[in-house]
Amino acid sequence: MSDTVLPDWSKLDSAAALAGNPLAGRDLLRLLDLSPQELHLVLSTAVAQKAAWAQGVVTAPYAGKAVGIILEKPSMRTRVSFEVAASRLGAHAVVMSDSNSAFSRGETVKDTTQVLERFVDTIIIRTFAQSKLEEVAHWARIPVINALTDSFHPCQGLADLLTIAEHKGDLSTLKLAYVGDGNNMAHTYLEGGALTGMHIHIATPPGFEPDETIVAECRAAAAQTGALLEVDHDFAAALANADVVITDTWTSMGSEAEHDERLAAFAGYQIDAAAMAQAAAGAIFMHCLPAHRGEEVTDEVMDAPFSAIYDEAENRLHAQKALVSLVLAQ
Ligand code: CP
């Protein structure tokens, strides 16, 4: 993109190269907080940093900075990838999880947030309601990053777009099929399509559709890229000619009590070898993990040569390191 400035990470030894970037000091509460150009900046920064790290370039532009990571739901990938990203940037990560979560003692969101911002330079939070994340962002005078809510998972979205670009090239020419629950990942792929021009086809069982308001917001945003965003119940139509096939758990965090009911409702939406055979030649499979092997996806697909699941997980680190690099800049 012509109006973004990508730092030369092979020469970077201070935060100076990142100063003044359009995301400095900004929040990321959902992907639609970004313009297409800003999304490109995050992804291209991740590509540059990943290549530099692979070549042995080690810099610590944010030595002395701290990031606060609040986890009100379980996490492995998000916690580890943010902690390691902070470490690679020279920053210290403070993790507050479960019973030690910053919000576990009933203090108001305002008090907690405005104390935390005296200690740390950005707040990364996994919580339930998007409205709580928005309240944190309202009170914070430092960047706030969504590490998953019931509505969105933008950091996973950044990693997934990076992974798709690495495997399949120009996002605007691709079709992504997401089959399964119309959950926070479905919303995030719709946002990613709207920003990149990628054709997104979401197929869910009846009763598990994405949020109508979010779909409408994504379709409005898609006007800037021309992305086709389809949402229906048609498993076969979603898979037809798909370059990328994605599913997610049928029982998201907080829905465990509905597990048996959901298994029945999602019958016929499993990604197995026969489903992958309906996609385009050379299609890849992705899953944000953790997967429930034998439910939404078979072992055969998870472990196939076309499965990009571990590249996708690794890219959490690279995408989030780029994001933190950009928002922490002065
Ligand atoms: N994909 C993802 O967010 O993984 P965790 O729940 O392990 O963080």
Residue 23 has pLDDT above 60, yes or no: yes
Residues 173, 66, single domain; the answer is no
Tens of pLDDT, residue by residue over 250-288, are: 988 788 888 989 999 999 999 999 999 999 999 999 999
- The answer to the question of residue 104 being in a domain is yes
Residues 170, 280, single domain; the answer is yes
Q: What is the mean pLDDT of the chain?
A: 94
Residues 139, 176, single domain; the answer is no
Provide the number of structural domains found in the chain.
2
How remote is the CA of residue 76 from the centroid of ligand 1, in Å?
A: 6
- The answer to the question of residue 194 being in a domain is yes
Nearest to 105 by CA among 144, 70, 147, 140: 70
Q: Are 124 and 67 in contact (CB under 8 A)?
A: yes
Closest ligand 1 atom, residue 78 Cα? 8
Locate the DSSP E strands across the chain: 66-71, 92-97, 122-126, 144-146, 175-179, 199-203, 229-232, 244-247, 284-287
How remote is the CA of residue 135 from the centroid of ligand 1, in Å?
A: 23
Mutate to test the pocket of ligand 1, among 97, 126, 148, 152 (most ligand atoms within 8 A of CB): 148
Tens of pLDDT, residue by residue over 29-52, are: 999 999 999 999 999 999 999 999
Q: What is the band of 68 on the pLDDT scale with cuts at 50, 70, 90?
A: very high
- The answer to the question of residue 99 being in a domain is yes
How remote is the CA of residue 75 from the centroid of ligand 1, in Å?
A: 5
Q: Which domain holds residue 201?
A: 154-312
State residue 144's pLDDT score.
98
Q: Percentage of the chain with pLDDT > 90? A: 86
Closest ligand 1 atom, residue 155 Cα? 3
Q: In whole angstroms, give the CA distance from residue 74 to residue 229.
A: 31
**Nearby residues of 251 by Cβ (< 8 Å), 6 or more positions away:** 258, 259, 262, 292, 295
Which positions are catalytic? 126, 153, 156, 248, 288, 316
First vs last C-alpha separation in the chain: 22
Find the CATH number of the domain harbouring 228.
3.40.50.1370
- The answer to the question of residue 2 being in a domain is no
**CB of residue 78 inside a 6 A radius of ligand 1:** yes
Tens of pLDDT, residue by residue over 138-149, are: 999 999 999 999
Tens of pLDDT, residue by residue over 146-203, are: 999 999 999 999 999 999 999 999 999 999 999 999 999 999 999 999 999 999 999 9
Q: In whole angstroms, give the CA distance from residue 242 to residue 201.
A: 9
Nearest to 29 by CA among 137, 117, 112, 182: 137
Nearest to 185 by CA among 133, 124, 140, 247: 247
**Nearby residues of 310 by Cβ (< 8 Å), 6 or more positions away:** none
Residues 177, 120, single domain; the answer is no
Say how many C-beta atoms besides its own lie within 10 A of residue 261's C-beta: 11
